[in-house]
Amino acid sequence: MLKIVYFYQYFSTPKGSWGTRVYEFAKYWVEQGHEVTVITSVFAKSDLKANGFIDEQIIDGIRVKIINVKVNNKSSIFTRLYSFIKYGLVASYYALSLPADVVIASSGPLTVGIPGLISKYIKKRKFVFEVRDLWPDAIIELGGLKNKFAQNIAYKLERACYKAADLIVVLSPGMQDNIKQRFNLDKIISVTNSANIDLFSRPINSIKVPDYFSSHLIAIYTGNIGTTNNSELLYNAAKELMRQGNKQIKIVLVGDGKQKEFLKSKAKEEGVSNFIILDLMPKTELVALLQKSFVSLIPLASAPLLDTSSPNKLFESLAAGLPVVQTTQGWIKSFLTENSCGFTIDATDPVGLANLLIELSANRELISEYVENARIIAVQQFDKNILAKKMLDGVLSVLPNENLRTAYKF
């Protein structure tokens, strides 16, 4: 049995409104006979709550230690940095005290690398660094970290984590290329986000959805509502649909974020009735809305580093059989084109988005073809168990004992 300690601040199960990668992977590893402990905090979009400053729960065989440090993406950058640092310091205690064969630190934020470095250099454990976002470049590029001193510290921490890691796991081929080019490292594998195929592909009829999901064609967006996610592009596209007199298509956002109330008020004031924002909901309910939509919208702001991103909603949309309309110009654009399961538009072109939605609404044959392609590619490449095994094989590869590595291969 392998003992794995996983440092990750945003742990959530499908009952929450956040990505479930760590939950799905850890659950699979437990089923394979390993012992997994996740050290997490209290994220606003997760379903986890903590009793006291430190709480311990067993979730589907996963030992979860919850540090009662609250994280909310709507908080100021200073509030979030404080919560990141506080988590990193408390988590470092577990880096020193918990038995482990391998320690995984999942970033962002970069501060999660601190307990990973302590495990590596003080406890002499194997260290796997999982990169979800290219911090600090991404946050600097988006204007979230302007202090030069703080930037310098962040870059030094980034380099230290890459140098110390026995294996770097990134969430997209674009991230892999970026890190290889900048740091001349080969100890990197790409394990994208995944989808729970059973959950997202199985027809859900027990969840009541708004009537307009039956009377209109729904272009759906799920996730954070804010500038990084280019939410105003969706609002302006809805306005353009109304200007063109299209009454068939509605753009529906499901989520939360800094621009949520602003855009809701704006739509009400300007009478943009085909633009609707729904509150956060568990993934177990969100599935029903996805399955009754005709396309999934994945807009991101126009920023080069966002072209390397690996959004959960991409894989969940494909699993639900939804063609994707997105704005990044990197690996996702190539992937959608090569597999005929989605479309790419310019991040600054709401008219182009509106016109594409109108064109797709009139081309049911193409939509049907893309629906089938989406389902096939999700099953073949993005099933949670396939990717959980791929990452487990990577984790096992850092073990020094050849016999042990072989024994744990599945």
**What confidence tens digit (pLDDT) does each residue in 377-405 have?**
999 999 999 999 999 999 999 998 644 44
How confident is the model over 128-187, as pLDDT tens digits? Answer: 999 999 989 888 888 878 889 989 999 999 999 999 999 999 999 999 999 999 999 989
pTM attached to this predicted model: 0.92
Residue 307 has pLDDT above 90, yes or no: yes
CB atoms closer than 10 angstroms to residue 199: 19
CATH number of 197-381: 3.40.50.2000
How confident is the model over 243-295, as pLDDT tens digits? Answer: 999 999 999 999 999 999 999 999 999 999 999 999 999 998 999 999 999 99
Going along 201-346, which residue ranges are E strands? Answer: 217-224, 249-256, 275-278, 295-298, 324-326, 342-344
Alpha helices in 271-409 (DSSP H): 283-291, 312-319, 331-339, 350-361, 364-381, 384-396, 402-407
CA 260 to chain centre: 19
CA-based angle 168:169:173, to the nearest 5?
A: 115
Going along 108-239, which residue ranges are E strands? Answer: 126-131, 167-170, 188-190, 217-224
Q: What is the mean pLDDT of residues 319-339?
A: 97
Q: Evaluate whether 87 touches 112 at the Cβ level (below 8 Å).
A: yes
In the chain, residues under CATH classification 3.40.50.2000 are: 3-194+383-407, 197-381
CA-based angle 71:75:77, to the nearest 5?
A: 100
How confident is the model over 52-88, as pLDDT tens digits? Answer: 999 999 999 999 999 999 999 888 878 988 999 999 9
Fold exhibited by the domain 3-194+383-407: Rossmann fold (3.40.50)
